[in-house]
Amino acid sequence: MIQTGRRRLGTAELRDLKTWLEKAGHPLIAIRTACARTLVAGRAIGAPIERETEATREEAALSDAGRANAIAMHTGTLRSGDHLQVDGSVLLLGDVNPGATLSAGADILVWGRLRGVAHAGRDGDRTARISALQLRPVQLRIAELVARGPDDAPPPGMAEQAIVRDGEIRIEPADPGWMPRVTDRRAAQGRASGQGP
């Protein structure tokens, strides 16, 4: 589910987001919005729509499990001094400027330039990853690991990701399916710890 709050998103933006989520293995369940323009745009692309009300906002706030598994979406640039922190994964449509911090309990995807600080897997999840269209941060953190961003220019037209390999944060071309399904990740963690199938 995409929760847009009062953000105004048009048909093209929602269609692109829906396509991108489906390619990443996250079918669009519904769009929950308090904005009339976003509601109309969602209907135009054939997405199930839920009108956000005070009751639905309270219900979402009370659902810890839903919040931990949700993909939070933020539209706009994070500027120096800004700090955006989410419990689950985050999709930021904009840039993260130097001096800004983006922190998530799971994965981070920046649909723009990441030049500030990013901390994925904040609660110790080393399987978390950080992806961006341009990955040139001041600092990267995944779980308890810390690294500096690369100094060289990014490859033209290629998104990058930071992941943990052999106990170190490594930067490589982004995997098109950048974020595994939450259920797949839980199953993998269960197998690694001797639980599950």
pLDDT of res. 111: 92
187 located within any domain = no
Average pLDDT of the segment spanning 28-55? 85
Sign of CA dihedral 128, 83, 118, 155: positive
Helices then strands, counting H and E runs in the chain, come out as: 5, 14
- Per the CB < 8 A criterion, the answer to whether 57 and 50 are in contact is no
pLDDT of res. 83: 95
117 located within any domain = yes
Model pTM score = 0.60
- Hey, which residues does 49 pair with through a beta bridge? 31
Exposed, middle or buried by CB within 10 Å (0-12, 13-18, 19+), for 88?
middle
| Judgement on whether residues 55 and 139 belong to the same structural domain of the protein | no
pLDDT confidence bin for 192, thresholds 50/70/90: very low
182 located within any domain = no
Q: Is the pLDDT of residue 64 over 50?
A: no
| Judgement on whether residues 117 and 57 belong to the same structural domain of the protein | no
| Judgement on whether residues 51 and 22 belong to the same structural domain of the protein | yes
Place of tokens 């071309």: 173
| Judgement on whether residues 91 and 162 belong to the same structural domain of the protein | yes
Read off the pLDDT of residues 142-164 as tens digits, 9 standing for 90 and up.
999 999 988 888 777 788 999 99
Q: Is the pLDDT of residue 52 over 90?
A: no
pLDDT of res. 190: 38
Read off the pLDDT of residues 67-103 as tens digits, 9 standing for 90 and up.
455 688 898 999 999 999 998 899 999 999 999 999 9
Instruction: Say how many domains are in the chain.
Output: 2
Place of tokens 């033209």: 156
